[in-house]
């Protein structure tokens, strides 16, 4: 083959090879492009799937969170309901405890009286007959319990008129409790304080050792717990110890104390306390006074002066004029009531120390002689040992019967 032909073939072959290479390179580039496009599409699809999965996960999380919140809300509502139920139950239990514990203390406090009367009734009815002899014995034991001769006789006369299908000591005691309750029911009046723009004033009086100071402290504590603002006036200026005792009590219960120098005019202390009560918008002013025998004329005149001074400040004051009497004083209480009523027209009585006396029948005697309300009775030193006087529980406790009065 000639040299020319060889060169031509060589060029042609080279050109063909170049075209082939270019086509191969182009195909390779197209393949790469297709692969990239496929890869990008796959990545896009993967991203879309991931986004969708993420959205589904978020939706699931939101749903789970909402469900958890709903469950938490249900649990909280249930817990609150349980707390409310528990609080209500606790309150009812506390009220029930106070109810039961007071009447339990009342029964124990009057046990010296009830044992004397109850044993006497049991012995009187040993024969199973409520005859004259039995009635005389019952009357005697009532008198020994300080019911008073007149009241005891009237009670026995009422009992005599009753009809009994069967006579035993329990049945007779139940009937006696009903008669006593009816006779003294009108005396049962709680110490109540009216809402007013001016302070409600309570003037306390009584003989030495009757328990005025501690009774005032108990009443102050009870009223402060009800949200009332209380001032105590220490108008017993003759004994420094009396003021010191009131200072301790006032601080303990959260009451303000107004006092004066030892030996100062008690009426002046009461006057100052009233002005302080007006300035401080106090609800209740409790005035303590020196213990005095009803026969001590000068001290009784001093008590009248305190009454006059307060009455000039407010024509309706003192709104309550309360005599504190000691149950152990027996029938002497009758003389005290008469003297203090004549001096300051007392309109309420509180009887203390029923737990230390076998003369718990004095309340029946008071009801028979005086028609002055009995606000409260005390059967111990603790604050909860002073409570509103109620006729039926008292009558039952005095006869040693179970107290089943409904709280309502």
Are residues 288 and 249 both part of a single domain? yes
The sign of the dihedral angle between the CA atoms of 85, 90, 93, 94 is: negative
Q: Which residues contact 150 (CB under 8 A, 6 or more apart)?
A: 368, 369
- Domain total of the chain: 3
Q: Is 403 domain-assigned?
A: no
Q: Is 52 domain-assigned?
A: yes
Residue 247 tokens read as 């200072």
Q: Is 405 domain-assigned?
A: no
Are residues 117 and 105 both part of a single domain? no
Examine the fold and report which residue of 147, 165, 186 is the final residue of a domain before the chain moves on.
Answer: 186
Are residues 92 and 121 both part of a single domain? no
> What's the CATH code of the domain at 341?
3.40.50.300
Burial class (CB within 10 angstroms; exposed 0-12, middle 13-18, buried 19+) of 18? exposed
Are residues 5 and 98 both part of a single domain? yes
Q: Is 213 domain-assigned?
A: yes
Residue 78 confidence (pLDDT):
77
Are residues 220 and 297 both part of a single domain? yes
Q: How far apart are CA 138 and CA 121, in angstroms?
A: 6
Tell the residue number behind the tokens 């409600």, with chain if given: 200
Residue 174 confidence (pLDDT):
95
Q: How far apart are CA 9 and CA 357, in angstroms?
A: 151
Average pLDDT of the chain is 86
Tell the residue number behind the tokens 């986004």, with chain if given: 51
Beta strands 320-326; 230-235: pairing state: unpaired
Residue 98 confidence (pLDDT):
47
Q: Is 406 domain-assigned?
A: no
Return the H-helix or E-strand segment holding 374.
strand 374-378
Cis peptide before 349 (omega within 30 of 0): no
Are residues 266 and 317 both part of a single domain? yes
Q: Is 404 domain-assigned?
A: no
C-alpha triplet 46, 48, 52: angle, nearest 5°: 115
Which residues of the chain have a pLDDT value below 50? 88, 90-99, 407-408
Q: Is 298 domain-assigned?
A: yes
Q: How far apart are CA 356 and CA 327, in angstroms?
A: 8
Closest CA to 387 of 90, 194, 88, 107: 107
Domain that holds residue 266: 192-398
Residue 322 tokens read as 């309360």
Beta strands 320-326; 200-205: pairing state: parallel
Residue 68 confidence (pLDDT):
78
Examine the fold and report which residue of 109, 142, 169 is the final residue of a domain before the chain moves on.
Answer: 109
Q: How far apart are CA 285 and CA 246, in angstroms?
A: 14
Are residues 40 and 164 both part of a single domain? no
Return the H-helix or E-strand segment holding 208.
none
Q: Give the 3-state secondary structure of residue 119.
A: helix
Q: How far apart are CA 144 and CA 91, in angstroms?
A: 42
Q: How far apart are CA 116 and CA 144, in angstroms?
A: 8
Examine the fold and report which residue of 109, 143, 177 is the final residue of a domain before the chain moves on.
Answer: 109
Q: How far apart are CA 196 and CA 218, in angstroms?
A: 22
Q: Give the 3-state secondary structure of residue 205.
A: strand
Q: Which residues contact 165 (CB under 8 A, 6 or more apart)?
A: none
Residue 97 confidence (pLDDT):
41
Q: What letters, b where the CB count within 10 A reaches 16 and e where it falls short, cover 236-246?
A: bbbeeebbebb
Residue 293 tokens read as 């025998």
Are residues 182 and 199 both part of a single domain? no
Q: Give the 3-state secondary structure of residue 238.
A: coil
> What's the CATH code of the domain at 156?
1.20.120.140
Q: Are 217 and 286 in contact (CB under 8 A)?
A: no
Q: Is 407 domain-assigned?
A: no
Tell the residue number behind the tokens 């039995």, with chain if given: 134
Length of the chain: 408
C-alpha triplet 285, 299, 336: angle, nearest 5°: 85
Residue 3 confidence (pLDDT):
56
Q: What share of the chain is helix, strand, coil (3-state, %, to 5)?
A: 65, 10, 25
Are residues 372 and 246 both part of a single domain? yes
Q: How far apart are CA 189 and CA 377, in angstroms?
A: 11
Are residues 231 and 360 both part of a single domain? yes
Q: Are 360 and 112 in contact (CB under 8 A)?
A: yes
Q: How far apart are CA 360 and CA 399, in angstroms?
A: 10
Are residues 86 and 41 both part of a single domain? yes
Are residues 233 and 332 both part of a single domain? yes
Q: How far apart are CA 149 and CA 399, in angstroms?
A: 18
């Amino acid at each position: 083959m000639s040299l020319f032909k060889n060169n031509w073939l060589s060029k042609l072959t080279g050109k063909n090879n170049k075209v082939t290479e270019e086509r191969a390179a182009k195909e390779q580039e197209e393949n790469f492009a297709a692969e990239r496009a496929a890869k990008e599409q796959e990545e896009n699809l993967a991203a879309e799937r991931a986004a969708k999965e993420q959205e589904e996960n978020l939706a699931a999380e939101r749903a789970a969170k909402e469900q958890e919140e709903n469950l938490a809300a249900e649990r909280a509502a249930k817990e609150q309901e349980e707390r409310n139920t528990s609080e209500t139950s606790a309150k009812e239990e506390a009220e029930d405890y106070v109810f039961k514990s007071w009447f339990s203390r009342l029964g124990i406090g009057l046990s010296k009286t009830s044992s004397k009367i109850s044993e006497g009734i049991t012995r009187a009815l040993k024969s199973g007959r409520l005859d004259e002899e039995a009635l005389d014995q019952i009357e005697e034991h009532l008198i020994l319990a300080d019911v008073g001769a007149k009241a005891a006789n009237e009670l026995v006369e009422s009992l005599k008129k009753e009809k009994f299908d069967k006579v035993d000591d329990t049945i007779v005691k139940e009937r006696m409790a009903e008669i006593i309750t009816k006779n003294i029911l009108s005396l049962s009046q709680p110490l109540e304080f009216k809402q007013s723009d001016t302070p409600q004033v309570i003037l306390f009086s009584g003989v030495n050792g009757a328990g005025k100071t501690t009774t005032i402290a108990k009443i102050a504590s009870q009223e402060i717990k009800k949200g009332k603002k209380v001032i105590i006036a220490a108008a017993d200026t003759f004994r420094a110890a009396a003021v010191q005792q009131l200072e301790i009590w006032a601080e303990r219960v959260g009451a303000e104390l107004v006092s004066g120098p030892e030996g100062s005019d008690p009426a002046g202390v009461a006057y100052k306390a009233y002005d302080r009560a007006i300035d401080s918008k106090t609800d209740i002013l409790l005035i303590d006074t020196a213990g005095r025998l009803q026969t001590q004329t000068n001290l009784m005149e001093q008590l009248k002066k305190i009454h006059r001074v307060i009455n000039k400040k407010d024509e309706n004051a003192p709104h309550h004029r309360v005599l504190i009497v000691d149950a152990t004083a027996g029938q002497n209480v009758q003389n005290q009531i008469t003297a203090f009523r004549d001096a300051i027209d007392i309109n309420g009585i509180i009887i203390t120390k029923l737990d230390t006396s076998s003369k718990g029948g004095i309340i029946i005697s008071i009801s028979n002689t005086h028609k002055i309300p009995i606000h409260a009775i005390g059967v111990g030193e603790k604050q909860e040992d002073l409570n509103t006087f109620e006729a039926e529980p008292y009558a039952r406790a005095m006869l040693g019967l179970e107290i089943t009065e409904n709280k309502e």
